[in-house]
Amino acid sequence: MSSSGAYELVRLRNGAHSVRSQAHGETMHPGLGPEAEAEALYVTQLRLVERLRAHQGEFVIWDVGLGAAANALTVLRATREMSGSVRLISFEHTLEPLRFALGHRSALAYFAGYETVVEQLLSENCVEFQNGQQHVRWECQVGDFPSRIRHPDARALPKPHVILFDPWSPAKNPAMWSAPLFADLFSLLDPARPCVLPTYSRSTMTRVALLLAGFRVGAGRAAGQKEQTTIAANAPELIVEPLDHRWLERAQRSPSAEPLWDPVYRQAPLTPVTWEWLRRHPQFE
């Protein structure tokens, strides 16, 4: 184990290494490890290589919760043989976990071949490079994400095809999982551009918040000890296993289904108003 005070390098049960935040008391990618989890949730599940192969023009990825960059770098490595142009925009409130991780790159194999790229990203918040057959522009926007997407100039951000959604957990970072946050995020999407958002959480309150924001929501693939994750999209054809009426009935009975409306974590059953909104969602018609 290696520590910088705020972050430490930890060895997982399967032998992989990851980064742990002392302040949050949470480890990034604790189940499968950084590369394997990113590969499962953001590459294989999204059939990302196939999507890029068929895509014309610039492909835009929002990386919400850059962290130690495992998701971003795994996606770049997996798609590097696909020709074309990728615009990768990472959002994070601090670059300290990335600096820490880069300092321990010998234990974090996903950095291999991208060390110089990450160094430039850290120093300039933007880097353009040739990634195999692919041209990449990778930029990082540092600051409070909920405030950033509420600001009027967020409308000028390139509209995403994919959102890698990976903040700290709802219990430790509730502002990133609230119903207003997902509503603001959905409002920035282009209705004519199909966009998919996978995330590691499978909590009922998160799924309800996504549905109320306007997303279609489904069960995502397993990751580590999680039997399911969650996948959301603005186009129903992107959801392979949509939540159904059986899930809706379970949500109605759940003691922890009401979404977060404020950046304070709590658990509560659905209110009558929220239940009425939820049951009228087009997904359940």
**Mean per-residue pLDDT, 251-279:** 98
Residue 22 in domain: no
pLDDT in tens, 4-37: 569 999 999 888 999 999 989 999 988 888 999 9
In a domain, 24, yes or no: no
Provide the 3-class DSSP secondary structure of residue 121. Answer: helix
Using CA atoms, how far residue 188 sits from 65, 145, 152, 183, 185, in Å, is: 17, 13, 10, 9, 5
Mean pLDDT score, 83-94 = 97
**Tokens found for residue 204:** 């009922």
Q: Residue 255 contacts by C-beta under 8 Å, 6 or more apart in sequence?
A: 267, 268, 269
- The answer as to whether 2 is a domain residue is no
**What is the domain range of residue 99?**
35-284
* pLDDT tens digits for range 101-135: 999 999 999 999 999 999 999 999 999 999 999 99
Instruction: Establish if 18 belongs to a structural domain.
Output: no
The pLDDT tens digits for 67-77 are 999 999 999 99
Kindly state whether residue 12 falls inside one of the protein's structural domains.
Answer: no
**Segment 191-221, tens digit of pLDDT:** 999 999 999 999 999 999 999 999 999 999 8
**9 falls within a domain:** no
**Per-residue pLDDT tens digits for 140-174:** 999 999 999 999 999 999 999 999 999 999 999 99
Nearest in space to 44 (alpha carbons), one of 79, 83, 73: 79
pTM of the predicted structure, to 2 decimals = 0.95
Residue 21 in domain: no
Q: Quick one: pLDDT at residue 110?
A: 95
pLDDT at 49: 95
Q: Number of structural domains, the chain?
A: 1
- What CATH number does the domain containing 214 carry? 3.40.50.150
13 three-class SS = coil
- Whether 1 is covered by a domain: the verdict is no
